[in-house]
Amino acid sequence: MTGPTELPSLPDARFAGLLAEARALQATTVELRREIHRHPERGLHLPRTQAAIRRALADLPLEIQLGKSTTSVTAILRGARPGPSVLLRGDMDALPLHEDTGLEFASLEPGAMHACGHDTHVAMLASAARLLTAHVSELAGSVVFMFQPGEEGFHGARHMIHEGVLDAAGDRVERAFGLHVSTNIASGQLRTRPGSIMASVDNFFVRVIGKGGHGSAPYQAIDPIPAAAAMVGALQTMITRRVDVFDPAVLSVTRIVSGTTTNIIPEEANLEGTFRTQSEASRALLRDELPKVCEAIGTAHGCRVQVDIEPGYPVTVNDAVEARRVLDLGREVLGADQSVPMPAPQMGGEDFSYVLQRVSGAFAFLGVCPPDTAPEDAASNHSNRVLHDESAFPAGVAMYAAYAMDALRAPVRPLAG
């Protein structure tokens, strides 16, 4: 018989033992995670974390490139045959927080804590590099491991892009994959979705300038406090009246500062806050409307108003094909019930968005809810009491590796004869 024959789809044999291989690396993964957790560093310059990563990779056949403007680490694994490049990313930095978990490996650095799980990302990515090294003969192309500082508001991904991480292997990265742990998802479960998965992030600062005076004679002053209070309500109304309900946006006034004592009308009041959107169109609308609302209210109260908007991260948008690929790989590697489509995006921000603006790829969440805790009851990321279940790490290691192996699938050689 000649011609193609349709056969039922079968699981890819390459992934059959991948999770078991990741579990065999668990001691190494946990050791690195705990070392980094004990010594968290913040921002773009993380020398101790960079050194720990370099030690973890030292015995592997990787090409190492260090950042110039940051302490980033880019490691490149060359496959057995030529082909495209795929990028895997793990962020490195901690948060300005005192740790209250009581863990035996809790932070030893005052005022710093790995409360967002970036220590787990680094450890899982380093073990994925080790796992993929054992499968290098199956790779047609290069894997770029992106160890990135400065995710927590410092635009670290943008720094690495400017320094060439997307071209580090000699050709342009074609696909990219990033993972983030979540304690509010069942341990070991993978979740992602096509399209927007995380929001844009912009912060605003409003200065309302009036005329100070005595609290007993407000008619002789221009009180900025009523103007500022009116702005809070008007900004909330703006969100509901100007933004499409099917294109979510959130605005929160998170800080109000004014005055010194009970009998003084202050000269000025200050508002600060953040707004998040799921599309760049809504983001542009809010950037335009927010100053208009505040200035109009200020004028009505006889106040001058200064508005500054601090641009943050763009919307994180998954390529539809790559998101489906991740979910399919999750079902194959972790199990059918462990790979779950997300019904809706989150309103948090993520600077992997800069990578996904330039490369087709996907961002996903890995559940690390502690044992004997319901996901809805677990302390969430950015909490001083957050706990990340280490038993979920092999799932992350295996998913990093599976994505690269699938993207760099070596062509099957035809049988002779």
Tell me the catalytic residues: 313, 390
User: What's the rounded Cα separation, in Å, for the pair 275 and 256?
Assistant: 16
User: In what side-by-side order are the strands of the sheet with 73-78?
Assistant: 63-66, 73-78, 140-148, 81-91, 173-182, 360-367, 190-192, 339-341
**Partners of 305 in the beta sheet?**
208
Task: Please name every residue paired with 180 in a beta bridge, in sequence order, or none if there are none.
Answer: 365
Structure tokens at 301: 């109260």
| Continuous segment of H or E residues that includes residue 394 | helix 393-407
Give 3's contacts (C-beta < 8 A, 6+ positions apart).
Answer: none
Name the β-bridge partners of 325: none
DSSP 3-state of 361: strand
CA distance from start to end of the chain = 16
Alpha helices in 210-279, H assignment, sequence order: 224-242
CA separation for the pair 156, 154 (Å, rounded): 6
Alpha-helix runs per DSSP H in 304-373: 320-334, 353-356
Query: Cα-atom radius of gyration of the chain, to the nearest Å?
Result: 25
Q: Is 305 helix (H, G, I), strand (E, B) or coil?
A: strand
Tokens of 315: 């919307």
Do 132 and 404 meet the contact criterion of CB atoms below 8 Å apart?
yes
Could you tell me the CA-to-CA distances from 354 to 77, 93, 312, 347, 362 in Å, in that order?
A: 23, 17, 11, 17, 12
Which are the contacts of 318, defined by CB distance < 8 A and separation ≥ 6?
192, 193, 194, 195, 196, 197, 356, 361, 362, 363
113 and 95 Cβ atoms separated by less than 8 Å: yes
36 phi, psi to nearest 5 deg: -70, -35
Cα–Cα dist 204/251, whole Å: 10
Is residue 223 within 8 A of residue 265, CB to CB? The reply is: yes
